[in-house]
Structure 1
Amino acid sequence: MPKPTDAFEQKLAELETLVNELEAGELSLEDAMTKFERGIVLTRECQQSLSAAEQKVSQLIAQNSADETLPFNPEQ
């Protein structure tokens, strides 16, 4: 079963390919518009994945900061 990071990496790679194809300037207007639209979808999906990961990290930090911490003393 693929990990969520695998899906993100695949979408990011596809987005990079689309950008390179669009920057090359060798596509017809219709093909360029189709690839641009796909790029918008991929960008939104990647942003959603990053937002979800950011929320998870924030939750983990909040959970860990609730634990008692001790000051670091290098002489001990």
Structure 2
Amino acid sequence: MAEEGALTFEKALEELEAIVEKLEHGQISLEESLAAFERGMELVSFCQARLQQVEKRVEILVERAGSFAFDPFSDGDEERA
């Protein structure tokens, strides 16, 4: 994988989208397809790990009885279901 220190979630997602488009059009060789698929899987893994890191950090600070507590962030999906 490219230098992970320079890779951001946004760059990884952009590269992944380009790979998907390239694979969907099927105008590359089998070997190029395999290499693209492998790179895509690396990017998926990177993005999933990054999302998990961010999810763990996203907390809402709530003041309770003069002390502060952290509650997990909820995007409201539970309420919409």
Q: Is the TM value for this pair above 0.5? A: yes
Q: Which runs of 5+ in 1 are unaligned?
A: 70-76
Q: Deviation of residue 48 (structure 1)? A: 0.4
Percent identical among aligned pairs is: 40
Following TM superposition, where does structure 1 have runs of at least 4 consecutive aligned residues deviating by more than 6 angstroms?
none
Give 1 or 2 for the bigger CA radius of gyration: 1
- Larger relative helix fraction: 1
Q: TM-score, normalised by structure 2?
A: 0.68
Residue in 2 aligned with 1:14? 15
Query: Using CA pairs below 8 Å that are at least 6 residues apart, which structure has the higher relative contact order?
Result: 1
- Larger relative strand fraction: 2
The number of aligned residues is 60
Q: Which runs of 5+ in 2 are unaligned?
A: 66-81
Report the aligned-residue RMSD. 1.9
Q: TM-score, normalised by structure 1?
A: 0.72
Q: Deviation of residue 68 (structure 1)? A: 2.4
